[in-house]
Each structure stands twice: as C-alpha cells, then as structure tokens.
Amino acid sequence: MSKLKSEDYFNDPGFWGFIHRSFTKSMGYTDHDLKKPVIGICNTFSELNKCHSHFNELAEYVKRGVWQAGGLPMEFPTISLGEPYVKPTSMLLRNLMAMDTEEMMKAHPIDGVVLLGGCDKTIPAQLMAAASVNIPAIVLAGGPMLNGKYKGEEIGACTDCYRFNLEHKAGNISDTEISEIENSMCRSEGHCMVMGTASTMASIAEALGMSLPGCAAIPAPDIRRKHMAEKTGIQIMEVVDKQILPRDIMTEKAIHNAIKVTMASGGSTNAFIHLVAIAGRLGMKLSMQTFDEMSSSTPFLLNLKPSGEYLMEEYFEAGGVPALMKEIEPLLDNDCMTVTGKAVRENLRNVEVLDRRVISSFDQPLGKEGGIAVIEGNLAPNGALIKQSAVSEQLKEHRGKAIVFESLDDMNSRIDDPQLDVDQSSVLILKNVGPKGGPGMPEVGQIPIPKKLLKQGVRDMLRISDGRISGTSYGTLIVHLSPEAADGGPLAIVRDGDEIRFSLQEKRLELLVEEKEMKERMSEWNAPVPHYDRGYGLLFQQTVLQADEGCDFDFLLPPELRDQPDKEG
Ligand code: FES
Ligand code: MG
C-alpha cells in the first residue's frame, strides 16, 4: 500500500506522533487500530435537514463495512442543507458546504472518504470538494422517500405539491384534505422521490462513477440501502488501496456520460449549474453548447415525474441508473473508470431493464431529445434553459406581451391583484432572482399563475426569469437567463407591454424591441442595491460566477482556469 496521510500522523516517532496517538486512543482506539487506513465518513445528518434524518444509522453500516475491510472509520460533520428550511435559498450555501467539506478533508488524517449526501445541494457540494481535494472518495446517496399515496393515487414530492397547492388555492381542495395530503405525501425518511434535483444528482454521482452501481434509486428505508452502505464501506478500502482518485474517475468523458444520463432521465435543470461547477473544479470549462449538443443527441427514456408518470420506487424496481445506462450504452464512453475499480463497460455487463413502462428502449424513446434545451436570443446572450419535456403544447411557439415583476417582493405583492392586466397569452417576467440578484438564485422560476386566471382554468403560461426552478417543477418555464438582470443582462431592461417571442423549435427567445432602444434603456439602467454589506453574503456577492459558469466562487476554480477563461472542456 502506498504511503497514507494517516501514517504521517500515527507513525511519526516525534512529539506530534505521541500527541496524535495518545489523543486518538483516548476515544477507545488501540495501537492496532492506528495502523489501519483512516476512512472519513462525512455524515451530514441534521434535524434541520429532513432528507438526511436517517444518516446516523446509514453511517453505522458504512463503518461496519470499513471495519470488515480493515480500515478505521471516523465520522465527521459538515454543514447540511435541506431545501425546505434554508432561506433565502440553499443555493446561497452550496459553495459554503463545498468549502467546508474540502477543508475538513484536507485538514485531517483522512486516507479516503465516504460522502453521505442526499438533499439537492449536498451531493454537488461534496463532488466539488472531492474534485478539488482529489483523495479517494465514494458518494453514498441517502436515497429517495417511499412513493406518496393518496386516495389510490401515487403522488410525488414535490411535483404534486405544486398541483395540490394550486387546486387548494383555486378552492377545489379543502383545508382538511390538504392536511391529509401533507400526511400522505412524505411517508418516510429520504429525499424527494421524483426525478428532481436530489434524484438527478444522486444519478449523476453514479453516472460519473463516484457511487457504486445501483446506489441512487434504492428507497431510503429499503434494507438494500443499508446493504449498499456496508458495501460502500468495504469498497472505499479498495479505492484507497488502488489509489483510484476522483480525477481518475471524473474525467471529461465521465462528465459527458453524466450529462447524457441526465438528459435520458429528464433530470433537473439544476444539474447544469452543478455539473459546470464540478467540471470547473477539475479545470474544465463546460459550455452550454456541449449540453445542448448532448441533449439533442440523447433520447429521453425515463418515465418519471415531473416529466413522466412514475416515481423513484418504480425506477429502482426497473433496474435504476445501471439499467438506464445500459439502454444508452452506445452513447456512453464505456472505458471510464469507476469506484468499483472497473470501467463502466464492466459494471454494465449483466445489467438489463426490468420494466419497460419505466425505462423505454433506446429505439422507442419517450422523446427523441433530452429533457432540457438550451435557449438563446437577445434576452439571454449567454443562454437560458427550458425543461422542454414539461412545456405545454400550446406554448411551444408563442408570442405575447410582457408583464414585468422587478423582484420577488414585487411579484408576491401584485401577482394575485385582480387589477393586474394579464391574460393567458401574457408572458410573466421575473427579474433580479439570479445569483447576485436573488441572492443565490432561488428556485422561484415557477412564477405562480395569477389567481384570476387559475379560476378560469389556466394552468400554464410562458414564464421567464434569471432564477432557477426546483427539479420537481413543471410548466413552460425559461430559467437561468444569463447574464442575470442584477449583473446588467438584457433582462434588466424589459418593460411591461414589450413583445416577447419564444420558439421551442428554434430554441430562441427574443425581446422584440429595437436594438437602439435597448441600448438607450441600458444606459439608463442602475444596478440594484446589493443585499449584503458584510460576511458570507458579501463574499458570495463579490465572487459568485453566473449561472452558465456554474455559480461557483471565482477563487475556487483552479488557477489555470481563471487564467484561461475560454478553455473549452
Ligand atoms: Fe430534500 Fe426535496 S427536500 S430533496
Ligand atoms: Mg429541489
């Protein structure tokens, strides 16, 4: 075995060796234990993060595996981010979590690490950290909740949360019923069980080769997740032994595999930001064009909400991520190394799709293209995204007049105003919810349908913002407009009544205002007052990159990428 970092701590014959051994033995470990490789178990349990409520138990199973394979498991915490609570948005803290994880891994005698993640921002933060630190690492996702069930219907968090909330708001569901639905929606520990951001990122960890095959889809309370935890504990020892490093695994080709799996799954738009950020840590600049090309050439196969019918439990029964990867094997780079110590090809050797209702065949896909399209045009010079699999038929080609909300507060105060001059052809525009403007690019791109239109039966409209949407959202939502309004992007100068044209076919979004007029408006534009004048918020505001650049902090990119901003990956 190669020289391990823990050996520097525990084999040191000098003063510090004495201190390290003595203080470690005070926790009950013996000299025998101190000869073993140290495996850090990054346990992001938190009672403030519902999706990680079972992590203490899961960590015990990882430890079991580590002990069996001859390692010394040591659990450590980092911050933990649960979507429902963190305000103003968990995205504001993703980079903080990535920094926390990175620095914990660097500062301690850890030879390898198992990263327990689940809720949306956690696995991205952990993969960003693993990419930067580059010590042996495996991601163990916490797994999705069991399917929600209400009155014989399978319901999914949070795709159906929006629908029930809308019907409640429209007066079609009573207060008592909505309380029952709350009880029936989230029936167990685990993260959201649709193909939202959490499921997308767990699938990405697997597609990259950073999780054991089959890990992503096992429901959190299923005993097989505990088996997976133990297996992960055993496997990290092999990864340490063979010194297979995150950068041997997360190559450019592996990132492309992950993009294709995301497209075939109808995965979350948030995957773009996170994958760009992960690639950035590896010294690669992933362009929107790369995503678009891969989206156009990858069929959409996975029939899961929010783009399809089923939930993660059925995905698991259908074979999970390995089965999906098997189906798109001709598109993947099958030589990529993974944490199994084997290439993708080997991992997929005996895999098959077990339920065609859930995973369609490559030849008979649900859609010819991936779930997400990159949109361009004068409103989004650096691109924008749309989940095309969730676009309403009647809005695929659309022209309408803008109704502009300058901020989230502005929108909240006026959206349901009966006087608002809006009809179903209007285009709802929300500004200043980008990385700097939000701050932290909150998931508010699913602009609510005005109540008076809801009552008329309108359920979708063309909605545009520089914010994000939850991976569980649906509807005709153009998001991630880049550059954002608060950074002087053209979105900043859109006014009420301006005509907007959208074509999904052409992947274009245009503000139909003369260029001269746009320039004039821009010269009169003033940047909004920054949200923070101190602390982490100030650091965020000053250093956060735009959505198309992954929203990492500029100083967290490797120097070579900062010096060559145009290097393509
Ligand atoms: Fe954690 Fe949905 S709240 S994944
Ligand atoms: Mg989410």
Tell me: the pLDDT tens digits for 188-209?
Answer: 999 999 999 999 999 999 999 9
* Protein residue with least CA distance to atom 2, ligand 1: 192
pLDDT one-digit tens code per residue, 52-105: 999 999 999 999 999 999 999 999 999 999 999 999 999 999 999 999 999 999
pLDDT one-digit tens code per residue, 229-247: 999 999 999 999 999 999 9
CA of 94 to the centre of ligand 1 (A): 14
CA of 197 to the centre of ligand 2 (A): 5
Instruction: Find, among 478, 484, 378, 376, the residue nearest to 428 by Cα.
Output: 478
Percent of the chain with pLDDT over 70: 98
Nearest ligand 1 atom to alpha carbon 157: 2
Nearest ligand 1 atom to alpha carbon 84: 3
CA of 478 to the centre of ligand 1 (A): 22
Question: What DSSP string describes 421-474?
Answer: ---TT-EEEE-S-STTTTTS--S--SPPPPHHHHHTT----EEEESS---TT--
Is the full-model pTM beyond 0.90?
yes
Within 13 Å of residue 179, how many CA atoms lie on the same side as its CB? 3
Nearest ligand 1 atom to alpha carbon 197: 4
CA distance 159 to 276: 25
Q: Which residues contact 545 (CB under 8 A, 6 or more apart)?
A: 435, 551, 552, 553, 554
Query: In the predicted model, what is the mean pLDDT of residues 29-58?
Result: 98
* Protein residue with least CA distance to atom 3, ligand 1: 83
Q: What is the model's pLDDT at position 563? A: 65
Looking at the CA of 48, which ligand is closest? 1
480: amino acid identity, one letter: H
Question: What DSSP string describes 28-47?
Answer: T--TTGGGSPEEEEEE---T
CB-based contact 155:181 (threshold 8 Å) = yes
Within 13 Å of residue 100, how many CA atoms lie on the same side as its CB? 19
CA distance 483 to 485: 7
CA of 119 to the centre of ligand 1 (A): 5
pLDDT one-digit tens code per residue, 394-442: 999 999 999 999 999 999 999 999 999 999 999 999 999 999 999 999 9
Q: Could you tell me whether strands 72-76 and 462-465 are parallel, antiparallel, or unpaired per DSSP bridges?
A: unpaired
User: What ipTM was assigned to the predicted interfaces of this complex?
Assistant: 0.92
Instruction: Find, among 276, 245, 9, 236, the residue nearest to 140 by Cα.
Output: 236
Q: What is the model's pLDDT at position 568? A: 44
Mutate to test the pocket of ligand 1, among 91, 97, 120 (most ligand atoms within 8 A of CB): 120
CA of 261 to the centre of ligand 2 (A): 19
Query: In the predicted model, what is the mean pLDDT of residues 171-187?
Result: 95
CA distance 324 to 302: 8
CB-based contact 463:477 (threshold 8 Å) = yes
Q: Is 416 helix (H, G, I), strand (E, B) or coil?
A: coil
CA of 377 to the centre of ligand 1 (A): 33
CB atoms near residue 151 (< 10 Å): 9
Nearest ligand 1 atom to alpha carbon 82: 1
CB-based contact 48:82 (threshold 8 Å) = yes
Nearest ligand 1 atom to alpha carbon 472: 2
Question: What DSSP string describes 300-352?
Answer: B-B-BTTTSSB-HHHHHHTTHHHHHHHHTGGGS-TT-B-TTSSBHHHHTTT--
Phi and psi based region of residue 480 (left: phi greater than 0; alpha: psi -120 to 50; beta: remaining): left
Q: Is 144 helix (H, G, I), strand (E, B) or coil?
A: strand
The answer, yes or no, to whether residue 254 has pLDDT greater than 80, is yes
pLDDT one-digit tens code per residue, 518-568: 999 999 999 999 999 999 999 999 999 999 999 999 999 999 888 655 444
CA distance 164 to 135: 45
CB-based contact 207:274 (threshold 8 Å) = no
* Protein residue with least CA distance to atom 1, ligand 1: 119
pLDDT one-digit tens code per residue, 354-374: 999 999 999 999 999 988 899
Token pair belonging to 89: 């948005």
Ligand 1 surroundings by CB, under 6 angstroms: 51, 82-84, 119-120, 191-192, 196, 198
CA of 302 to the centre of ligand 2 (A): 19
CA distance 255 to 373: 18
CB-based contact 299:261 (threshold 8 Å) = no
Nearest ligand 1 atom to alpha carbon 51: 1
Token pair belonging to 218: 């096992």
pLDDT one-digit tens code per residue, 444-494: 999 999 999 998 999 999 999 999 998 777 799 999 999 999 999 999 999
Looking at the CA of 192, which ligand is closest? 1
Looking at the CA of 81, which ligand is closest? 1
The pLDDT confidence band at residue 1, using thresholds 50, 70 and 90, is very low
CA distance 55 to 358: 28
CA of 512 to the centre of ligand 2 (A): 33
CA distance 555 to 539: 11
